[in-house]
């Protein structure tokens, strides 16, 4: 990696930004990188093959000591400590070898984001990261000349506690690659700022919290100083007539806090091992219901749903989707485009069951053949809805377990607005949380708390074996009053046979 500015003889003939001019006050454009640190990729569970970007407006820039507002009624204002690069000379189609020479300075940045608006942005980050004050920069600039770009350290403190620490040696995409890649597509101008992504540890801040970020070069004793921002409570006057309003779900909570554990959410899907799944497939739902009842769980049946194909067995982990009653103004803001329904079917994972809250409303479809095909292609375990299904005959032919109250030809806009995903819902009179285990057959569908699944299925299989033995005795002429349930004599015979086996 070349970082000595003397390598570029044309540098002196280009427009430059003087450190004393403070280019941070009004950058021409701000380009932010999504996941760029190995630690962040491990935290998120996904590692990008190439860098990806979004823009932030210059009006979002703030200085050290400024406050940032979390609008009233919102909960997920997340901080992200980052290293900001300030472009010093124009860069267009530059190579990686020459890219660092176009950087004038580095400093600290905080890429604030309001995750309550993240879903509405559909990846653009305009509303959730572009708000006024959501890009603090500074306070001091470190000249890039003579600094090895892989020697920088980034640290973040929340209320005085160190919560982020990483170095640029741990980046997936080095600075030179980011600059060269961007310069293939647009001209980087003097004063432009590149926010280079955040390492693990980014999380949520509340009103009253103080976030401090510092970039330094420990070997040279150079530092940006601490970029200080205090969170305050702002107004929450979002007008639904004008556009999207804040909405949160458990997925956004997990991503904003950094993990399900940090967000106070139950672990998702960890209980369904291949061994447990095999046992659940073999065990009738009626037997599982009996064991749940013995443990005091009487309200775990999703009532009124039946499989589109008789003989279907369903086993998977709940991924939830909620519809609210149709209201024309809300359908305009939430019903079109990549709405919550499409998000759920486009992100469902292998062994997950999409469970839909449709309030038992049978006067509209909640999915059709295209969405069913998408779920099948992604390896979903099935779909359960207490609403209707469109294209019923076609859906029934798809190799995907679907349980529903029946068929209906109407689309969402008649009765429903697709609202949010990955949160606790009610389906067919049962409460369903993301991560619950869902089982279904011709007798119906049950919700099993993950922590009880192994115990319940073992007991149910034992009871099934016992019931099979009793059925054989009844066929042989044994009286019901003696064997169902078994009296002491028959119980002794049963246990003796089992012991002999």
Q: Is 371 annotated as a binding residue?
A: yes
In 3-state terms, what secondary structure has residue 135?
Answer: strand
Residue 26: how many CA atoms within 13 Å on its side-chain side?
Answer: 1
The answer on whether 13 is annotated among ligand-binding residues is no
Contacts of 239 (CB under 8 A, 6+ apart): none
Judge whether 431 and 386 are in contact, CB under 8 Å.
no
Name the region of 257 (left: φ>0; alpha: ψ -120 to 50; beta: rest). alpha
For residue 472, the tally of other CB atoms under 10 A from its CB is 11
Cα distances from 14 to residues 35, 190, 289, in angstroms, run 32, 9, 75
Read off the DSSP letter of residue 171: B
How far CA 485 is from CA of 26, 57, 495, in Å, comes to 81, 73, 14
Cα 439 off chain centre by: 24
> Does residue 369 have a known ligand-binding role?
yes
Strands 81-87 and 193-195: antiparallel
| Residue 177 CB contacts under 8 Å (≥ 6 apart), including other chains | 51, 96, 99
How many residues are there in the chain? 501
Using a 10 angstrom Cβ sphere, with 0-12 exposed, 13-18 middle and 19 or more buried, the burial of residue 477 is exposed
- How many C-beta atoms surround the C-beta of residue 57 within 10 A? 16
| 390 labeled binding residue | yes
Does the annotation list 239 as a binding residue? no
Query: What does the alpha-carbon distance between residue 364 and residue 415 come to, in Å, rounded to a whole number?
Result: 6
452 labeled part of a ligand binding site? no
Q: What angle do CA 370, 401, 460 make, to 5 degrees?
A: 160
Residues annotated in the binding site for substrate, as ranges? 368-371, 390
Residues annotated in the binding site, as ranges? 368-371, 390-391
Residues annotated in the binding site for Mg(2+), as ranges? 391
């Amino acid at each position: 990696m070349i970082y000595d500015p003397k390598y570029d003889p044309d540098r002196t003939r280009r427009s430059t930004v003087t450190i004393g001019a403070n280019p941070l006050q009004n950058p021409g454009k701000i380009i932010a990188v999504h996941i760029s640190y190995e630690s962040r990729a491990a935290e998120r569970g996904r590692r990008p093959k190439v860098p990806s970007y979004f823009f932030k407006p210059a009006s979002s820039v703030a200085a050290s000591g400024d406050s940032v507002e979390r609008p009233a009624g919102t909960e997920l204002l997340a901080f992200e400590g980052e290293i900001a690069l300030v472009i010093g000379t124009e860069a267009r189609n530059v190579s990686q070898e020459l890219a660092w020479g176009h950087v004038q300075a580095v400093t600290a940045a905080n890429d604030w984001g309001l995750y309550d608006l993240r879903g509405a942005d559909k990846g653009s980050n305009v509303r959730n990261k572009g708000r006024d004050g959501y890009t603090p920069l500074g306070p001091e600039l470190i000249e890039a000349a003579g600094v090895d770009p892989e020697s920088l350290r980034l640290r973040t403190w929340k209320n005085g506690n160190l919560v982020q620490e990483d170095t640029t040696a741990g980046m997936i995409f080095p600075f030179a690659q980011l600059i060269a890649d961007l310069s293939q597509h647009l001209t980087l101008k003097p004063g432009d700022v590149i926010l280079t992504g955040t390492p693990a540890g980014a999380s949520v801040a509340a009103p009253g919290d103080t976030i401090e970020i510092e970039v330094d070069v420990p070997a040279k004793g150079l530092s940006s100083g601490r970029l200080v921002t205090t969170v305050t409570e702002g107004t929450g006057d979002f007008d639904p007539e004008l556009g999207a309003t804040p909405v949160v779900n458990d997925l956004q909570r997990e991503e904003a806090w950094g993990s399900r554990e940090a967000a106070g959410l139950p672990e998702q899907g960890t209980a369904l091992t291949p061994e447990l799944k095999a046992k659940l497939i073999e065990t009738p739902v009626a037997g599982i219901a009996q064991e749940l009842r013995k443990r005091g769980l009487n309200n775990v049946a999703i009532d009124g749903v039946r499989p589109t194909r008789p003989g279907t067995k369903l086993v998977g982990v709940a991924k939830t989707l909620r519809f609210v009653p149709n209201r024309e103004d809300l359908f305009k803001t939430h019903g079109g485009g990549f709405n919550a329904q499409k998000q759920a079917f486009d992100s469902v994972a292998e062994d997950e069951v999409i469970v839909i809250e449709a309030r038992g409303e049978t006067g509209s479809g909640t999915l059709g053949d295209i969405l069913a095909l998408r779920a099948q292609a992604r390896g979903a375990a099935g779909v359960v809805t207490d609403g209707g299904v469109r294209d019923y005959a076609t859906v029934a032919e798809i190799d995907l377990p679907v349980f529903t109250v029946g068929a209906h030809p109407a689309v969402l806009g008649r009765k429903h607005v697709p609202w949010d995903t990955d949160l606790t819902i009610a389906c067919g009179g049962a409460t369903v949380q993301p991560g619950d285990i869902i089982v279904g057959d011709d007798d119906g569908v049950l919700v099993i708390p993950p922590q009880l699944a192994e115990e319940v299925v073992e007991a149910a299989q034992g009871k099934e074996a016992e019931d099979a033995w009793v059925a054989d005795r009844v066929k042989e002429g044994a009286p019901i009053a003696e064997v169902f349930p078994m009296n002491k004599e028959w119980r002794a015979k049963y246990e003796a046979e089992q012991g002999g086996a």
